[in-house]
């Protein structure tokens, strides 16, 4: 995409970018909503993402352009007001600029900025984290700063939490930052601590994007966050990672039925992540697949962040012999389903699933056959 970005940058600003950065989208492999509860999570950086081009200006103006919109958003460097409407996408790079001083890092003053993406929007692949990390790399390169990768990831999370307003954990930014081809990223969110886990050969990812609503800022995500914190408080622990399924069942009467359901999902999901890592290390993709599907059913029953569309896809996919398992990926409440398959699952099988979905819901989902990819990186223009 780099040549297209340079061409678009010239068309938008009349010159070439000085710096180019890229950060991948991610698949939440397993660990649904465990991150902000202090638990472990597994994700995969994919071979699609967000590219950012940047060139400095000396007049204090910040101009933001995107391949998705024709209008350029121009703001003075001293204006950090949150944007709305069509310009709301600018909140992600603005949030990064606002976060940099919180980590004793400098933000560039004036610049021309262009973002381009080959990630499908609203599919639960975290285009938000990708644009945050790509923006962070570009801003840091423009100011000749080289903080650790951990700090870059934390800057992106801070931007999302405090400027954009989504109380996410470290999963999205961590996987986008630490991704590695042919590997999954394991995050112990208490540290956070990051490591990579080899993905056995023959594993394939298929994403089915339903285009149903996936708006995390509208309160559903925040409500689940509050319910989890309420559960931890009732158990007298800081975060739900500090308890276990047996202790939760003993304390069931301390919770409202809704809060207990949320806590049950999280505590059991934490155990599933550990079991998945163990299965990956011995190359048992069949066991991994069963854990993925169990994760979805828990999201469906206990966390209630699934939808009929996502449930139908999981049921249809797991009836296919070449599918190891399937689950919603991302925050839920719409979006996409990920299927882990063998090489025997191809376009024909994917199209049959899409046709069955279209017959029931009236429109076919988008299909993406994704590969693992590397984490955020800088390029020479």
Catalytic residues: 172
Q: Is the dihedral of CA 371, 178, 1, 380 positive or negative?
A: negative
Rounded CA separation 46/182 (Å): 10
Give the CA count within 13 Å in the CB-facing half-sphere of 6.
9
Cis-peptide, bond into residue 192, ω within 30° of zero: yes
Rounded CA separation 105/88 (Å): 24
CB-CB neighbours of 195 under 10 Å:
12
Rounded CA separation 238/377 (Å): 35
CB-CB neighbours of 191 under 10 Å:
10
Is residue 358 within 8 Å of 364, Cβ to Cβ?
Answer: yes
Q: Write out the two tokens for 368.
A: 């993406």
What does the CA dihedral 262, 176, 205, 314 come to, rounded to 10 degrees? 20
Q: Write out the two tokens for 77.
A: 């460097």
Q: Where are the beta strands (DSSP E) in 164-281?
A: 183-188, 193-198, 204-209
Paired sense of beta strands 61-66 and 110-117, if any: parallel
| Count of residues making up the chain | 381
CB-CB neighbours of 380 under 10 Å:
6
In sequence order, what are the residues at sequence separation of 6 or more whose Cβ sits closer than 8 angstroms to the Cβ of residue 359? none
Q: Where are the beta strands (DSSP E) in 31-85?
A: 40-57, 61-66, 69-76
> 75 pairs with which residues across the strands?
62
Q: Is the dihedral of CA 344, 347, 351, 353 positive or negative?
A: positive
């Amino acid at each position: 995409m780099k040549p297209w970005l340079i061409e678009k940058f010239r068309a938008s600003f009349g010159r070439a970018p000085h710096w180019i950065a890229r950060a991948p989208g991610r698949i939440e492999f397993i660990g649904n909503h465990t991150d902000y509860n202090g638990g472990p999570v597994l994700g995969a950086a994919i071979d699609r993402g967000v590219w950012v081009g940047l060139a400095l200006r000396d007049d204090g103006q910040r101009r933001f352009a995107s391949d998705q919109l024709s209008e350029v958003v121009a703001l003075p460097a001293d204006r950090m007001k949150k944007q709305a409407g069509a310009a709301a996408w600018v909140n992600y790079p603005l949030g990064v600029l606002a976060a940099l001083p919180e980590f004793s890092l400098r933000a560039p003053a004036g610049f021309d900025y262009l973002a381009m993406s080959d990630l499908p929007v609203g599919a639960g692949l975290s285009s938000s984290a990708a644009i945050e990390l790509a923006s962070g790399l570009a801003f840091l390169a423009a100011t000749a700063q080289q903080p650790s990768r951990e700090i870059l990831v934390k800057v992106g999370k801070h931007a999302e939490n405090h400027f954009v307003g989504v109380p996410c954990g470290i999963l999205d930014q961590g996987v986008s930052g630490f991704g590695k081809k042919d590997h999954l990223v394991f995050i112990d969110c208490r540290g956070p601590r990051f490591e990579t886990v080899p993905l056995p050969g023959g594993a394939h990812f298929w994403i089915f994007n339903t285009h149903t609503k996936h708006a995390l800022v509208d309160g559903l995500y925040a409500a689940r966050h509050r319910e989890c914190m309420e559960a931890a408080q009732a158990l007298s622990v800081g975060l739900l990672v500090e308890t276990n399924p047996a202790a939760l069942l003993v304390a069931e009467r301390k919770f409202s039925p809704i809060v207990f359901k949320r806590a049950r999902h999280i505590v059991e999901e934490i155990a599933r992540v550990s079991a998945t890592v163990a299965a990956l290390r011995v190359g048992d993709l069949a066991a991994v697949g069963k854990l993925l599907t169990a994760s979805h059913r828990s999201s469906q029953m206990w966390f209630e962040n699934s939808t009929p569309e996502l449930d139908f896809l999981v049921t249809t996919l797991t009836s296919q012999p070449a599918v190891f398992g399937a689950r919603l990926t991302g925050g839920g409440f719409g979006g996409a389903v990920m299927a882990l398959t063998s090489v025997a699952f191809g376009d024909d099988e994917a199209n049959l699933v899409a046709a069955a979905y279209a017959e029931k819901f009236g429109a076919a989902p988008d299909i993406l056959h994704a590969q693992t990819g590397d984490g955020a990186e800088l390029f020479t223009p």
